[in-house]
Chains A and B, each alone.
Chain A
Amino acid sequence: MRAVIKNGIGIFSPQGFLDGNNSSILVTFEDIEATKKLNADIILVSLKKVIFFNRNGLDIFVKLFTKIRKDKHITVGFCDYDEKKFNAIKNFYANDLNFSLFQTKEIAELFSPTYSNDKRDVLIYTDDKSQNSAIAIELHDNGHNPILAQSKQDFLNKKDNFDYVISNSILGCMGNSVATRVTGNAIIYTISTFLDAEIGNKFNIAYHNNSLNIGFKLFIFDAYKVVSMNIHALNFFSKLASYSAEYNATICFAGLSSTKFPESFKETLEDSGIMFFNQMDDILNDEKQLKELTGVTSVNTKNKRHINKATVSELPNLIDATVATIEMMTNAKALKESVNIQEVTLKNHTDMVASSIGFYGDLDGMIILVFPIDIAKKTCELLIGEETDDTDMILDTLSELVNIVGGKMKTILSDENVNINITLPRTYQKISTLLENTKGRKGVQVDLAFDGKKFLFFLTR
C-alpha cells in the first residue's frame, strides 16, 4: 500500500479490518522506503474506512511512523476516526503515544507547514491541559487563531461559531524539516528552531535550483518558528540569495524577529538582496508588490538555457508520457500535428491554461503543457467526479495531472536507466505570464490535437 500525497500530507488509507495478520502485508518494507522518499511534511494513516482494528493491527503502522520520523523528522500519526476509535488508540498506547492523532484530515492540514490555507478560527478543548496549550501554540505558529475553551460546557456552547473545533486530537512530536509549498507563483519554505550549519543538509538545493529554472522568482522563508541563527546559517542564506539573484529571483524572510539574531546579520542579509517582512500577509496580500517580486514583467537573465542533445534524445519518451496520461485521463485520442525548435509560440491563447514541471537528475529540463480549458475540465471529471468552472479547482487539478505526467516520465526513463526527480508543478491561469517567463528560451514545441482541440507540448531546459 502506498501513501497518496496532497498538500504536503501523505495518507495511507487501509480498508476493512486491521489486525496483526493483515497489516504486515498492507505495509511492506518497500512501502516504508517509498514513503521515506516522499516529499511530505506529515504522514498519516486514515482510519476512515477501517471498521475494526486491534493493537497488533496498528502496531505495524506505529513501527512505520517510528522509521519515518527517525529518518525524516516529520509529523506522523492517525487521522479520520470517531470517539470510540480515538479512545481505543489512547488505551492501546497510553504511555507510549509518540505519534499524533488528528480527528480529521482537514484538522491535520491546519498543522501542515506546506498547506496554504487561510487563517482559521479554531476552538480547542481536550482533557489534557498541556495538549491544549501545545495545540494552541502550534496553530498560532501556523498563522491560525486558536481559542481554548475553559470547560466542556464552554466548548459545547461555542463550537458552532468556529471554522474548526479540535477535541479528540493529540499532538505527538511535530516535524522540523524544511517544508516546501507553492502559493500562487511563490515558493514558501518553512524553517524553524535554531538555524545552524545543518540548514545546508536540510535544505534541498537541487529542488531550489530547478524551481529557479522553471521560472519561479519569489522564494519566501516562513521563519516565525525560528529561535535563533548562527554565522553558518547566515553564510548559507547569503550565498543562496546571491545565487538566486542571478535568476532575477528574490528571497524574503517573513516573521523573523530582529530579536532573534544580531543587527549585523540582518545588514549582511539585506546586502545580499534578502528582504524582510514582519508577516507573510505583508508579502502575499500586497498585489502590486507581489506582481513585482514574482517577476511577471521582469526578464530572465541567467535562465536562458536552451535545449540540448541529451534532452532532445528523450523527447519521444517525454511526449509518450504526456500523451498517454492525457489520453488515459480524458479517453480522447491525440494527433501530432507539428514539431519545431522555437520559443513558445501560440497563435491564439484564449480559453487556455498552462502548467510546467521541471525534472532533474541524470537529465534536466522542463516541460510546459498548454491546455484548452475543456481538456483541463475533462480531467477534473475523472479526478473529482464532476465538471467544474471553478478556476482554482481546475488549476489544482491541472497540477495533479502534470504530477501524473511527471510520474509517468520518471517510470519510462527509469526503464532506460535514466533517473530523474520532478519538481512541484507551476500553473499559469494567464498564458501571457507563461510567454513572458519563457521569452528568449528555445525548445522543442510539439503541437498536438486531442479530439480536435489544440494542445501544446514544449520541452526546454
Chain B
Amino acid sequence: MITKEMIDLYIQKIPPAPKALQKTIHYLNIGELTKASSVAKEDLALSSYLKSIVNKPIYGFRNNVSDIPQIFGILGVSGAKQSVYNYLLTLLSPDKWSLFKLNSNSFHELQAQLSVKWKIILKHLNILDKDIESAITLLPASIIVCDALFGEKIEDVNLLRSVNNLDFNTILMRLCKFDLFDICEEISIKWEMPENISKIIQASSGKKESSEDSINILGKWMHLLLFYELSQPIFVKAELNDFIDFNIEYVSDIYEEFAQLMDIK
C-alpha cells in the first residue's frame, strides 16, 4: 500500500524554505521585528496569509488589521515567528485535500486555533520560549503528510479499517517502520527548525514518550490540545478525529488542569 520508498520520495520533494521566509525567521530569531516585517511585506503570499490569519475571531481583534508591520507589532517576536512557520506549513498543504474534508480556510482555522491555545497553555505553564511556542506549527504537518500518503489509498484503508480499527499512523508504522511524526521530524530538519520542535512533536504523537521530562510534559499538553481541537465539529466533519490514536492514559494526569484552562464543563 505505502512503502518506505514512497515516503523517501515524498520527503525528497519537500521544497526548501523560500529565501524571504528564511530571512524573516533569521531577523525574528535575533529580535529584529521591524526588519523581519519589512522582508515579510515583500512576500505577497505571506502578507496575505498573515492578514487572513490574524483577523480570525480566535485572535480577538476588534478591527481589521492589514498592515504587516502592525501585525508583527501585535503578535510580538514569538507570535510572528509562529505565524511565519504556520505559513511555511501551508506551502506543503495540497490545493485539494483528498483524504480529509478540508480546504485552505478550515486548515488555516486549525492552525489558528492550535496556535492561540498553545500560547495559553505555555502561559499557564510559565514557559517563555520562542522555539517552544513555534513547535505547535509543525503539528498539522502530520495531517498534510497523512493526506498526501493515504489520499489515493482511501478505499483500501477503509476496507482494512472495517475489520481492524487501525489509525493511519499505526498502519504506516507497521508497513514502513516509519510514522507520520518521523516524517514531520524530517520536514523540520529540512526547514532547519530548532531541534526542540521535532522532539516535542514526536512526544505529542502519544506513542513515543521522551526521556526528557520537560519535553514529555509539553508533548502531553500538545497531544491533548490536538484531540480537543480535532473533537470540534468542523474537524470531526473533516474526518480528522481518528487519524491518529488518542492515548488517554498518556494525558490523564494533566486532564483536570487542561479542562480548567479551556473552561470545559
User: Count the A-B residue pairs with Cβ separation under 8 angstroms: how many?
Assistant: 102
- Per-residue CB contact flags for chain A residues 1-30 toward chain B (1 = under 8 Å, else 0) read 110111000010111111101100110000
A80 CB to closest chain B CB (Å) equals: 10
| B125 interface residue (CB < 8 Å to A) | no
7 tightest A-B contacts by CB?
Answer: A16-B231, A17-B231, A16-B227, A15-B246, A328-B1, A4-B165, A400-B163
Q: Which residue of chain B has its CB nearest to the CB of A25?
A: B236
Name the A residues within 8 Å of B153 (CB-CB). Answer: 328
Name the B residues within 8 Å of A331 (CB-CB). Answer: 1-3, 175
- Which of A25, A381, A385, A407 sits near B162, CB closer than 8 Å? A407
Show the binding face of B for A, using Cβ within 8 Å. Answer: 1-3, 153, 155-156, 159-166, 170-171, 174-175, 224, 227-228, 230-233, 236-237, 241-242, 245-246, 248, 251-252, 255, 259, 264
A411 and B227 contact, CB distance less than 8 A: no
Q: Which residue of chain B has its CB nearest to the CB of A324?
A: B156
CA distance A2 to B160 in the complex (A): 12
Q: List 17 A-B contacts (CB under 8 A).
A: A1-B242, A2-B161, A15-B241, A17-B227, A25-B237, A26-B236, A328-B156, A328-B160, A329-B160, A331-B175, A381-B174, A382-B166, A382-B171, A385-B174, A403-B163, A411-B155, A411-B159
CA distance A408 to B159 in the complex (A): 7
B251 and A49 contact, CB distance less than 8 A: no
CA distance A52 to B160 in the complex (A): 28
A16 and B174 contact, CB distance less than 8 A: no
B227 and A15 contact, CB distance less than 8 A: yes
CA distance A5 to B164 in the complex (A): 8
**Candidate in B3, B233, B237 with the most chain A CB atoms within 10 angstroms:** B233
Name the B residues within 8 Å of A448 (CB-CB). Answer: none
B170 and A385 contact, CB distance less than 8 A: yes
Q: With A52-B264, A328-B1 as known contacts, state yes or no: A4 contacts B163, CB within 8 Å.
A: yes
Residues of A423-459 at the interface with B, using a CB-CB cut-off of 8 Å, are none
CA distance A49 to B246 in the complex (A): 6
| A156 interface residue (CB < 8 Å to B) | no
Name the A residues within 8 Å of B232 (CB-CB). Answer: 21-22
For the A-B complex with A22-B232, A404-B163, A408-B159 known, give 14 more contacts whose Cβ atoms are closer than 8 Å.
Answer: A5-B163, A15-B241, A16-B230, A17-B227, A22-B236, A22-B241, A26-B236, A49-B245, A49-B246, A325-B159, A331-B2, A382-B166, A383-B163, A385-B170
| A208 interface residue (CB < 8 Å to B) | no
Name the A residues within 8 Å of B162 (CB-CB). Answer: 2, 4-5, 403-404, 407
CA distance A214 to B163 in the complex (A): 22
| A134 interface residue (CB < 8 Å to B) | no
Main secondary structure of the interface of B (DSSP, over half): helix
Q: With A22-B231, A382-B175 as known contacts, state yes or no: A16 contacts B246, CB within 8 Å.
A: yes
A21 and B233 contact, CB distance less than 8 A: yes
CA distance A16 to B227 in the complex (A): 5
- Per-residue CB contact flags for chain A residues 74-101 toward chain B (1 = under 8 Å, else 0) read 0000000000000000000000000000
B211 CB to closest chain A CB (Å) equals: 23
Residues of A377-435 at the interface with B, using a CB-CB cut-off of 8 Å, are 381-383, 385, 400, 403-404, 407-408, 411
CA distance A2 to B164 in the complex (A): 11
B264 and A13 contact, CB distance less than 8 A: no
| A51 interface residue (CB < 8 Å to B) | yes
| A36 interface residue (CB < 8 Å to B) | no
B227 and A6 contact, CB distance less than 8 A: no
Name the B residues within 8 Å of A51 (CB-CB). Answer: 224, 227, 246, 248, 251-252, 255
B175 and A13 contact, CB distance less than 8 A: no
